[in-house]
Each structure stands twice: as C-alpha cells, then as structure tokens.
Amino acid sequence: MTRTIVSSATKEIAIGFDDPFCIIGERINPTGRKKLAEEMANGDYSRVEADCLAQVAAGAHMLDVNAGIPLADEPKILAETIQLVQGLTDLPLCIDSSIIDALEAGLKVYKGRALVNSVTGEDESLERVLPLVKKYDAAVVAISNDETGISEDPNVRYEVAKKIVERAADHGISHDRVVVDPLVMPIGAMGTAGKQVFALLHRLKTELGVNTTCGASNIS
C-alpha cells in the first residue's frame, strides 16, 4: 500500500490507506482573520503561537501554515512563521501558499520533509511548483481542478488528478509523494456531492494508488 512520509526534524508521520487518520490543523491562516493578518504583517506572531499550541493540544497530527496577506512580504512572513512553529512543536508542517517565492522561502528554512499545499492541474502551476517539490524532496497536495475550474463531474476531476500524478513522475516525483484533494463539493450546492467524492476516492486509491486529503468542513 502507498505511504506518504512527511516529517519535521525529529518526528515522522505516514499518510496511508492502512495508517491512522491524519488530522491537519489549518488555523494558522490569516485569510478572513483581519486581526491575525495585521499582527503577522507587523511581525507580531503571538496569536500564531497560541493557535499552534491550541491545535497541538487538540490532537492535530500536522499543521498547515499560511501567510497569505495582501501587500505584505509573504515570503519573509511565511519563513518566519515556519521557523516559529517549528520551535514550538515537532509536528510536520504543510507549507501553504499560492506564491512560488513564498513556497521556496518556506521550504528553504523548513527542517524535515514538508507537505506543499498545493499544485493544480494548470500547466503553469505544474511547471512552477513541481520543480520546487523535487528540489526540496517534499510531498505535495494535488488539487483536482485546472484552467476550466472545478468540474461537477467526478470523472473529470479524476483525470485532472491523473494528469498531476503523471506530470509529477516526469519531474522524478513518485506517486507516494502526491496526496490528492478530490475537492469535496458542498451538499447545499450539489446533492450528490457525498456519493461523488466516495466514488472518486475509491478510484484514486485503486487506479492511481495515491493517498488523499479532504477539507472536512467543505461538505457542510
């Protein structure tokens, strides 16, 4: 069975079909949190520290770190945040940014094998993110959408995931280092969303042999 290994300097986590469920805490994210965004932009990481420790205490197995603040120096803030968090916990981290310079800044200072969040099926995204994943021996979250957006057809989302896995292989990244997010659609917008994602998860496991991750709140 496929096992995706991520690590900090001292702790290793395996994501896999036969491994325990892996909970990724996503609280360290200034999106929609005006106060946190202001503090991080000003170099105040006290709230980040509190969020980090609270998620560890609540049982998270990994922590996602995002520093997406408009007009701020995201590479600098993300690198500083990663260093702070790694000084507080030995949990592996997911480095979360849509800015390639920020991803590299985070990967440069990270100790261990990070999970990069994320790459999509868009050719530009693939050719910018995958070389970084290879360079820093990271694992990567593959989002099942491309230039056409998020398809309501799970078969289309499967094909996007397959494209990402194949392109990753072209860059020397094995399928065990690709964790696919099949995109859980809200039931309020699509009544069959739950059934769709279970069918898609089955195909990703049996046909592509990849591990998967889902946003737990998306279904609500």
38: pLDDT strictly greater than 90: yes
| Domain boundary assignment for the chain | 21-113, 115-220
Cα separation of 105 and 193, whole Å?
A: 36
State the average pLDDT over residues 171-178: 98
218: pLDDT strictly greater than 90: no
Q: What is the 3-state secondary structure (H, E, C) of 75-119?
A: HHHHHHHHHHHHHHCCCCEEEECCCHHHHHHHHHHCCCCCEEEEE
Q: Residue 220: pLDDT band by 50, 70, 90 thresholds?
A: low
137: pLDDT strictly greater than 80: yes
- What is the structure's pLDDT at 105? 98
Q: Residue 189: pLDDT band by 50, 70, 90 thresholds?
A: confident
CATH of 115-220 among 3.20.80.10, 1.10.8.80, 3.20.20.20, 3.30.70.1150: 3.20.20.20
The percent helix, strand, coil of the chain (3-state, each to 5) is: 45, 20, 40
State the average pLDDT over residues 3-15: 98
Residues of the chain above pLDDT 70, percent: 99
